[in-house]
Structures are given as structure tokens and as C-alpha cells.
Amino acid sequence: MIDILHLSKSYGDTLAVDDLSVQIPSGEIFALLGPNGAGKSSTVKVLTGLMQPTTGVVRIAGFDVVEEPIEVKKRIGYVPENAILYESLTADEYLDLAGTLRHLDPDKLAERREELFTLFELSKADRKKLLAEFSKGMKQKVLLIAALIHNPEVLILDEPLSGLDANAALIFKEVLRKYAHEGGKTIFFCSHVLDVVERLCDRIAIINHGTLAAIGTPSELLQESGELSLERAFHRLTGGADIERSTEDILRALSQ
């Protein structure tokens, strides 16, 4: 469903993504992990059409993101890392905007909006409020609803659980699981919450300095790294500093 072939993205002289190749089939929940500045956001921005690749090919549902961006965007739902919305709109209006931009039939849009609002426990009064008045978690719920409202074939989620309360997070994770495994949809997931990734995702890719450091199921990554948790495996595969020594150094510096 998602084919990333030799993708590179550079900003001037800085190479953010370097020759990345990954194939993600339908019905899979796939996580892209990496330390800060590893190239995750650049990859996501290319997948979603916010930026163009410098070189390489990205195909979603068989469509090239550069050659046929509209066809690609029809098939994806996207939740960006930072909940940036038009705060002068109400939640209702924002979803109207998102749905209209996705060419949804107004009746269908209203029906889905209603169902998703109920699922995410946003009351009728909330829906009439300006987004400026929403908390971070409530804004995140609106973003999730906007990403799901057209029932996309591919969901691209950048830190989707950020700010959600425990109940909403639980429901959303279950929705994702069934959406992929029963609905046959593809989910591309970026997160720093590794225990969620470990439990939710079928396959994980770790990138470091823009290049692919490892790819496989959670158990394959644990096996490859010889560690017992994904957190430790991630640390080892991305060449992080020695944990014990770093901890001691920090505490020693503080006590001086």
C-alpha cells in the first residue's frame, strides 16, 4: 500500500532523509521511529504531500506522490505532530472544512461527524465552541476525527496520542487495531512512546541520521539488538550514549 523507494530529502546542504526504502502492505500498522532530527517528520511531510522529495519515489495505493498527488491525498488521513488548527472556527465548522476539502457528500459528512464526535466524547456544546477555547487533548480529538472522517485507506499519524486522556487513548488504539486488521487499512505511525508502539504496531522501522538503521517486527528487533525491551533496542540501534554512565555523569554534575 505504501512504497517508499530510495527516498532522499535535503534542505540546502543538509540531508534529512538519505536513500530510504520501505514497503508497507495493506492491513499493517507500521511505526517509523528515530531520535530527534532523524528524518521522520521530513518523511511524513513527503508522504502527505506537504513537501516534495529531492530524489526517489513514493507511491501510496499505487499512486506516485509527485505525479498524482490528488489521488494520493484522497486516500490518506493525516494527523500532524502539532495540533495546529484554524482557531477561529468551531469544531463543527472545522470538520465541515476538512470534509468539504475531501469532497464528502454533506449528508454523509454530517452523519460521520456525529458518530465520531460521540465516539470521542465531544459534547454538542463543545462542537459549537471555537477551537481557540479547546484544550490540547480536545484539539487532538478534532484532528483525529478530521483524519478519519473520509474513511481513508491509509492513515498517517504523527504522535496521535499526544494530549489525549487515558480513555480516549484506549478507544483510539482499539479503533486503530480494528481499522487495520479488520478493515484492511494501512497505518503509518510515528511516536516516541515506545511501549505503545511495541504493543500496537506490526512492524517497526528505525531511522537514524536519515538512513534506515533497522526494520522488522517488535520481536525481530529485540532479537537483532539482543535487548529485552524496545526502549533498550531503540537506544542500542540508534547509537545512544551509555545509559548508566550518562545518568551518573548528570547526577554528578548536579551535585557539584
Residues near other proteins (CB under 8 A): 11-12, 14, 45, 48-52, 69-74, 76, 78, 80, 82, 84-89, 93, 96-98, 100-103, 128-130, 132-133, 146
Q: In terms of residues, how long is the chain?
A: 256
Task: State the minimum distance, in angstroms, from the CB of residue 92 to other proteins.
Answer: 11
Q: For 95, how many CA atoms within 13 A lie in the half-sphere containing its CB?
A: 31
Shortest separation between residue 49's beta carbon and other proteins, angstroms: 6
Report in angstroms how near the CB of residue 135 gets to other proteins at its nearest: 11
DSSP, residue by residue, 11-61: ETTEEEEEEEEEEE-TT-EEEEE-STTSSHHHHHHHHTTSS--SEEEEEET
CB 36 within 8 A of CB 229: no
Alpha carbon distance 60, 2 (integer Å): 5
First to last CA, the chain: 55
Q: Report, in Å, the least distance between residue 76 CB and other proteins.
A: 7
**Residue for grid cell 542500542:** 236
Closer Cβ to other proteins, 100 or 246, answer by number:
100
Residue 72 or residue 206: which is nearer to other proteins going by CB?
A: 72
Minimum CB separation of residue 221 from other proteins in Å reads 30
C-alpha cell at 47: 508522504
| Of 63 and 220, CB closest to other proteins | 63
Instruction: Please give the Cα distance from 187 to 156 (Å, whole number).
Output: 6
> Between 76 and 168, whose beta carbon lies closer to other proteins?
76
Report the C-alpha gap between 160 and 176 in whole angstroms. 11
Residue 232 C-beta: closest distance to other proteins, Å:
33
Question: In terms of CB distance, is 97 or 171 closer to other proteins?
Answer: 97
The nearer residue to other proteins, 153 or 198, going by C-beta atoms, is 153
Strand (E) positions, 89-153? none
